[in-house]
Each structure stands twice: as C-alpha cells, then as structure tokens.
Amino acid sequence: MTSRLIKSIATGLGLLGSQASAEGSYNGYEAPPYQVEREVGGAEVRLYQPHLTAEVTVKGAQSQALRRGFSELAGYIFGGNTTSASVSMTTPVTQRPSEKIAMTTPVTQSGDGDIWTVSFTMPREYTRETLPVPNTDTIRFVETTPERQIVLRFSGIAGTAKLAKQDATLQAIAAQAGVSLGAGPFYYFYDDPLTLPWNRRNEVAYVVE
C-alpha cells in the first residue's frame, strides 16, 4: 500500500481512538449497528443488526491478506466503481469521476489457514441495488441477518501472535461463562495505520450459538 493511499485512508477515516457507540458509529463514521446485551469477563455479548457489506476473499498470511483485501476494497469505495444505471446514448459525451462511497469502520477479517475474507460495512443509505458496480468481479455484496456475537476489545498492533493470544483469551472467557461459540474468529480493525498503537481499537469475535 503506498504512503499516498495510507494518507488518503487516514484522512478519510479520521479515527483516533474514540469511544465506541452502540448506535452504529465510531468517531462520527458509520459502523455496524449493535446493542450490548451483557458483559462477560471483560468481553461483550452484542446483538448486531442487519447491515450490508462489501467483501473480498484473498490468499496469504494474515497480515498480507489484510493489506491486499483492504487495498482492493478501499479502491472500490474511493472510486473504483461505476454507476449501475443504464441510459440511452445521447450527445454530448460527458466525463465525470466514478461515484465515491463514504468510508465506514471497522475493517473485518475472518479466515482459515491462508484463505481470508476482508469486508467493509456499506453506508446505510445504500441497498444492494443502489450500490455502484465494482470494476472487479472479486468484490461481492452480502446482506447480514441479526446475529449475536461475543466480542473482546484490545489495543496495540494487531499482529498474528497478538490476534492468536486475544482469540485464546476470548475462548477461555466464553468457556468459563458457558457461552457456546459458533463461527469465528472474526477480527475487527477500527483505526487507520497511522494511529498510535495504544490508541488503536481492535476486536476479536465469535458468533454465539
């Protein structure tokens, strides 16, 4: 990822360790809407409301796959798309920038081995039908259903070893509380790469069965 793209993303996100909101926002930017139902050993059990995501599947090590997936999705929301409307040919021919989509947070990553899915939540103003068409067929849109998750928040640089440690901690918390885990782990990254490590918001989560 080039430094120019990183700066653009940092400017677009503007995320500097602000507090979370259960109303679907983080530092003024849209996030998946949820309600905290209860706290369990430092983790939260959240009920997520339906939302629309754009996602891409990439191959590689965790950090490498995250960068590749993030770059591809960022390219889409920063103009790598076309409008979905079809109109009859007229004159003159007019040129304009591709439609841009507002940045949301967090970036979500899930996977197994060296196959990972990276996703962005789409702004609530869009539906699957009104979203601009990506310039690549590797990006797909998914409408989620209401889902209960157990989520553990942590700060710092979310490298592979730290993610594994936080994953193990969350599993231990769930086991002690008698919470049955389903799909996961999911990793949530809320802040841009220029945010100081101690101000970063990261999370690991599992679906609660």
Which residues 6+ apart lie within 8 Å of 106 measured at CB?
26, 31, 121, 188, 189, 190, 201, 203
Domains of the chain: 3-81+98-207 (3.20.80.10)
Helix (H, G, I), strand (E, B) or coil at 195: coil
Phi and psi angles of residue 153, each rounded to the nearest 5 degrees, phi first: -95, 145
Overall size of the chain counted in residues: 209
Q: How far apart are CA 44 and CA 204, in angstroms?
A: 11
Lookup result for tokens 């754009």: 54
pLDDT in tens, 70-104: 889 888 888 887 764 333 222 333 333 456 677 77
Q: What is the pLDDT of residue 22?
A: 55
pLDDT in tens, 178-190: 999 998 999 999 8
What pTM value is reported for the model? Answer: 0.78
